[in-house]
A and B are shown apart, each in its own frame.
Chain A
């Protein structure tokens, strides 16, 4: 990486290489000092977070069967239900924003714009209390209802926006030729535009899975038994809050980085693949992209146009 020229740095000569090495040594010392500070703070007899008794519980089966695995199951169940519902409602809302009828378009647009701005935690709290007082849901179904509604409403809006930007990124000729062979606008949308848009959306949808998994941790606030909440029970039982939070973080990071990697692989495949008109994946902008690396054109010259009759 350091050998090849980037947009910021030319290929280093002998003096620059010495300078880089000095910076590397200084940087490594600073980073190690920061790490050492935290390790010392953790090992400090007053805190005593590095003793074996705080970490050994994670090697016993009880910690996993009684706490962590049920919590992980709760997280995955909530995420899976929300993903399935979000895809359905997201597609419906996205189609709603693209149809001919103006009032449907406006209604779906207003819904998406409003609920996109509402924090997921607020939506969960509202759904929880609405389920409690309005729908009279009781027992363990209530927190699950709150989590799923909160996640679904927000992520449907995100997906709707992805669908819309995916369809809008298609060349106008796709829609025009669909209409020209006699399909209705809705048929054109569902049989020609959407399949292509959804293919291009796949990486973004997969990255959204990471967001859903992370946001499901908010369910601990409305007493839904997911990974963070079961972890806090474990921390109370073994009096090891910091080790537990670190183990939880590792579990989340492993799952989410695996998902991110899958999204990246799909993106690569789409970029290589010959099918479809859209060659680059679409994003709806406001999704904080886990792997946002825009295409850097290899040259500033416009690409050659090989279509017949397009001589410049």
Chain B
């Protein structure tokens, strides 16, 4: 699956960059995130519960940040396993551009999804991914606006 998107965040680029590298911010903003820990300078491990219609699956994943060019861009590379549901692996190039006091974030995702989820839910993967991305950035904007407190939905 290939997916691209763009979101405008009302905050300076430095603030956005810091939040994107903060385990607290990511844990609060990733939809369904149950746990997220820093495992090395540029590595995270996470547990995420996803509910899509009748399907409920818990994914355990490892993520590495590469090609770090602060505060402009990085590449996220990782793999998540959801037991019998399947797996997802791939990467995303993330780029931050300044636009007045705002930051425009663009991303390009290339991911492979396998297992039963892919076989049975292929018609839903792209729209579900877009919906989750939109939810993440909505949470992210709220998180930054409210000064980084609390757990988003």
The answer to whether A and B belong to the same complex is no
* Interface set of B (CB-CB < 8 Å, partner A): none
